[in-house]
Chain A
Amino acid sequence: MNSIKLSILIAGSLFAATGAFAESGVTDDTITIGATAAATGPIASSCYPVTQAAEAWFAKINERGGIHGRKIAYTVLDDAYSPQRAIGNVRRLVEQDDVFAVFGGCGTATAAAALSYLKTKSEVPYLFPYAGIGELVSPTQPSIFALMPLYDQQLGAILPFAASQMEPKPATAAMISANIAGADAWRAAAKSYFDANGIKLLYDELVEVTSPDRTTFVVQAKSHNPDLLVIVDAAPGAARFLLDMQQQNWKPKMVVGASPMTAEQFLDPVAGAADGLVVAAGFVAPPTADAAKECVDTLAKTHPDVKPSHYSMFGCLGAVVFVEALEKAGRDLTRANLISALESMSGFESGISGPIGFSPDNHLGITSVMPFGVEAGAFKIVGDPVSIK
């Protein structure tokens, strides 16, 4: 009996001495989270600002003393937009680094890869990647939460708006989609809209995100002379389309795009080629908006070399929502408490997006998109928010 009491005493002392907390990635003074992100590679200019902006926001929170006395330690591993590397990264974060949650990151293909692993680790929260894949939120997974409306939801909202702005209404369309996870869903959503509205889809092709060639697709699409061109591609690829269209001296009546086409990484290379031509679905305020100032200034403090953009604003938004959830979860922080805090979030005003809310049945936080247009080389919100289905 004395030896048992002694063992318990020793074990308890060790426990107390390490300051160990019962939850993975959480200690008395630190919350450890991680991400896999494209820090290098073909979409780095788009994707890396997502994590850099989140890092900046967390640094600001840490300067103020953290959340309930805990500072946020954010580890970001480079996947160079390789799905294989993304899986390796999340495996390392979960199994070696023992993170509290996998937070953020960017890239649909890599998020899909990360998801394939994290589905087998259902206790680990996966929060707010910049990725438009349905599997993130449908069916609802206990510990997976998204902010970004799916590309099929974005197109479902923006296509009717775009068509309503055209006179006469479009009779024909062409669609060029990045060959990534989720492409089938948004292509189906677009086709459903076209069929319901008597718009004939003349050209529908997939393009590799990492391929530099867009000319072939532009030449083929141009040969069909559609009224409406739908592009769902990464920002550099979409910019390449616009530039190749300019080289081919082709301008359809309207170009409709998803959220990557509300990014400065799309706008800057195309300059005036997008004026009055492009309508795209945005869901976070542009960095030039007054409401964006705090995010922009925070980013400038830690990453002065990073240009504010749609992507950095999304990273900031994710960090803001995460911090809000951590506050709500309280000092007794567990993964279960975090999930409860998120699921009880309703109508949260981030200041840089529409109201954000989750529930046990809905883990997609943003429920409307804003139509972005381009005028005089700058983004402009050209209509009221459009609800997504």
Chain B
Amino acid sequence: MTATLIYAAIINGILSGGLYALLGLAIVLIFRTTTIANFAQGEMGMLSAFLLIMYATALPLPLWGQWLATVLISGAVGALIYWLILRPNPQAEHLNMTIRTLALYSLIFAVVSYRWGGNEPYTVPSLFPAHTVDIGGIFVSVEQVGSLSVMAILGVAFLLFFRFTETGLTMRAVAINPDIAGLLGINVGRVSLLVWVIAGFLGGVVGLLVAPQSFLDTTLMRPYILKAFTAAVLGGLYSFPGVILGGLLLGLAESFASIWISPHLREPFAFLVLLLILLVRPEGILGTRHRVRV
């Protein structure tokens, strides 16, 4: 394997892994605070990409302004999802809540397919120019560098937010025990709403980063959502740094497998890694064992 291929594998692996990590962060955020597995996280990103090209690009704003508007709208969509679908009957069983997200997944797909599926796939403008940068003989596109930068900034901002802000501390308290958090005066409902707003933001950002690279169609996020869950499990379902690490490791593992061994091993290798981690360390790389008093 030449140095060029190694560097290409690293760059592609970090790019993919960063996307899995961002999406995984949204999944872990919702799971930690509400114990709901949000299977619609990917479709929320897909919807954001469609909102960009169908509506936001008509706004009298520069492209970065249209992107920002779309991300903000994505947060609002997250809030709407919480208000209409998750907030009613909050005492329902976890299975009930999880199936609501599965139904939402199908609903978003069906609506978008009906409305815009006929002319897919679409070309989505990238926020970054289509130039290539030569770094020591390795060619990296400005789009790749830009996407990596966005992912890195968001990831760090996310971790700092939860570690050092009062709102982040409040969310962590709700994640540990929502009943006690409520008794301590924390508005659990408002925290849950904020969680879904942030999940909407993250899904929107991932959708807008993926769509220019892949062309936009209604199945855009399907390869990513499973990997995002894998990243979340790899890192430990309760650890934010863990899901970031899990995502990056997953991206690098499948990138090296596809370039070094065979492109057809990309998908199976990723899940092989997942199986191994679950067998050897089921709590994930940075997760801790959770014991429940009975």
Contact = CB atoms under 8 A, between A and B. Distances in A.
Interface of A: 39-42, 44-45, 48, 205-207, 210-213, 215-217, 219-220, 223, 236, 239-240, 246-249, 268-269, 305-306
A294 B264 CA distance: 45
B259 interface: yes
Q: Lowest 10 A-B CB distances belong to which pairs?
A: A40-B117, A212-B214, A247-B141, A249-B139, A219-B8, A216-B258, A216-B263, A40-B113, A249-B132, A269-B123
A247 B213 CA distance: 11
B215 A236 contact: yes
Given A41-B218, A42-B120, A212-B220, 8 more contacts: A41-B219, A206-B264, A219-B8, A219-B9, A223-B2, A248-B132, A249-B132, A305-B119
A101 B255 CA distance: 47
Contacts of B57: none
A235 B132 CA distance: 24
Contacts of A40: 113, 117-118, 120, 218
B132 A48 contact: no
A177 B264 CA distance: 13
B43 interface: no
B5 interface: yes
A41 B4 CA distance: 35
A167 B125 CA distance: 37
A299 to B, nearest CB: 14
Interface string B135-151: 00001010110000000
B282 interface: no
B53 to A, nearest CB: 13
A48 B119 contact: yes
Nearest to A250: B139
B215 to A, nearest CB: 5
Contacts of A239: 215
A223 B119 CA distance: 35
A45 B120 CA distance: 5
Contacts, number: 86
B12 A216 contact: yes
A247 B139 contact: yes
Interface string B12-25: 10000000000000
Given A44-B121, A210-B219, A223-B4, A217 B263 contact: yes
B95 interface: no
B130 interface: yes
Contacts of A248: 8, 132, 139
Contact of A39 (B8, B117, B219, B263): B117
Interface string B199-231: 000000000001001110111100100000000
B281 interface: no
Contact of B132 (A39, A45, A247): A247
Nearest to A215: B12
Nearest to A234: B121
Contacts of B117: 39-41, 44
8 contacts: A40-B120, A212-B215, A213-B263, A219-B9, A220-B259, A236-B121, A246-B132, A249-B134
A120 B143 CA distance: 51
A212 B223 contact: yes
A40 B139 CA distance: 35
A45 B139 contact: no
B100 interface: no
> A216, A220, A236: which has the most chain B beta carbons within 10 Å?
A216
B263 A42 contact: no
Given A41-B120, A45-B121, A212-B213, A219 B5 contact: yes
Interface in B1-53: 2, 4-5, 8-9, 12
B182 to A, nearest CB: 43
A217 B8 CA distance: 11
B119 A247 contact: no
B219 A42 contact: yes
A39 B223 CA distance: 21
B172 interface: no
B123 A268 contact: yes
